[in-house]
């Protein structure tokens, strides 16, 4: 029996959430190997991943999720079977000062990761490459796609989208693209 760990691509793994998630995943699930692609913007910090550095199931790749050729190479090289997509420009205030990079990374970057996964895993709409049926794409959204709350109240997944900042609009756009891939390609 082949006990080789299954490779998962984690995007933005040097950020706040990803750098906590990666050591947790590596420790809890020895059946997975992690390939972490991160551009190391001001928000990324490899110091937070020291405990993963020497793990032979962990690889770090400094790169941009908008780089299609690099992503294709990683899918082929590591035979990626799952994606957990954290990478984003994530600070609302920055999106007000400089929205451009939010559209680049959050919209175009999400599309690129998603489309490379589709190309690698699928033969056509609803048809997986044989052996790739269990591959999954996990996209991380934000509650801010639902707009702003007052002092009280809460959102649910049925709340209509109402993004109010370039950040939340870029995340809402990414959500729509992911949803369209789910419905179009499965
Ligand atoms: N932190 C929160 O409170 C919160 C709440 C809701 C949703 N989210 C979402 O969760 C995800 C992770 O959030 P976080 O707080 O860890 O973000 P973060 O800003 O701390 O980290 C983002 C990471 O993505 C990397 N990155 C940015 N652009 C990139 C690119 N083009 N290519 C490759 N890597 C790139 C950065 O270097 C950084 O390491 C994001 O999608 C965010 O929208 C976060």
pTM surpassing 0.85? yes
Residue 140 Cβ contacting ligand 1 at under 6 Å: yes
Residue 171 Cβ contacting ligand 1 at under 6 Å: yes
Q: Average pLDDT over the chain, rounded to whole? A: 96
Would you state the pLDDT for residue 63?
98
Would you state the pLDDT for residue 26?
98
Averaged pLDDT, 121-130: 96
Pocket test for ligand 1, best of 16, 137, 175 (most atoms within 8 A of CB): 16
Q: Is 151 labeled as catalytic in the residue annotation?
A: no
Catalytic, out of 120, 167, 175, 181: 167
CA angle 161, 164, 168 (to 5 degrees): 70
Query: CA–CA distance from 50 to each of 12, 19, 60 (Å)?
Result: 16, 10, 11
CATH number (3.40.50.720, 3.30.420.40, 1.20.120.330, 3.40.1260.10) of 6-185 reads: 3.40.50.720
Q: Is the confidence at residue 111, as pLDDT, over 70?
A: yes
Query: CA–CA distance from 1 to each of 4, 30, 126, 156 (Å)?
Result: 9, 16, 29, 44
Would you state the pLDDT for residue 1?
52
Residue 35 Cβ contacting ligand 1 at under 6 Å: no
- CA 143/CA 48 separation, integer angstroms: 25
**CB within 8 Å of 57: residues ≥ 6 apart:** 5, 26, 30, 32, 33, 34
Tens-place pLDDT, residues 26-71: 999 999 999 999 999 999 999 999 999 999 999 999 999 999 999 9
φ, ψ of residue 9 to 5 degrees: the values are -90, 125
- CA 143/CA 186 separation, integer angstroms: 24
Q: Is the confidence at residue 24, as pLDDT, over 80?
A: yes
Smallest CA separation from ligand 1 atom 11, residue? 86
Residue 107 Cβ contacting ligand 1 at under 6 Å: no
Averaged pLDDT, 74-101: 96
Domains in the chain: boundaries? 6-185
Nearest atom in ligand 1 to the alpha carbon of residue 105 is 31
At 174, list the tokens: 């990414």
């Amino acid at each position: 029996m082949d006990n080789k760990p299954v490779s998962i691509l984690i995007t933005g793994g040097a950020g706040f959430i990803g750098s906590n998630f990666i050591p947790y995943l590596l420790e809890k699930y020895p059946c997975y190997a992690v390939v972490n692609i991160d551009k190391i913007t001001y928000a990324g910090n490899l110091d937070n991943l020291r405990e993963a550095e020497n793990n032979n199931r962990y690889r770090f790749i400094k790169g941009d999720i908008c780089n299609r050729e690099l992503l294709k190479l990683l899918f082929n090289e590591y035979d990626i079977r799952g994606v957990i997509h954290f990478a984003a420009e994530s600070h609302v205030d920055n999106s007000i000062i400089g929205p451009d990079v939010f559209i680049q990374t959050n919209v175009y970057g999400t599309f690129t990761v998603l489309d490379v996964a589709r190309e690698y895993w699928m033969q056509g709409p609803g048809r997986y490459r044989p052996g790739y049926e269990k591959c999954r794409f996990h996209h991380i959204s934000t509650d801010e796609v639902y707009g702003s709350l007052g002092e009280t109240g809460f959102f649910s997944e049925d709340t209509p989208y109402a993004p109010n900042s370039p950040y939340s609009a870029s995340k809402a756009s990414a959500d729509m693209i992911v949803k369209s891939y789910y419905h179009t390609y499965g």
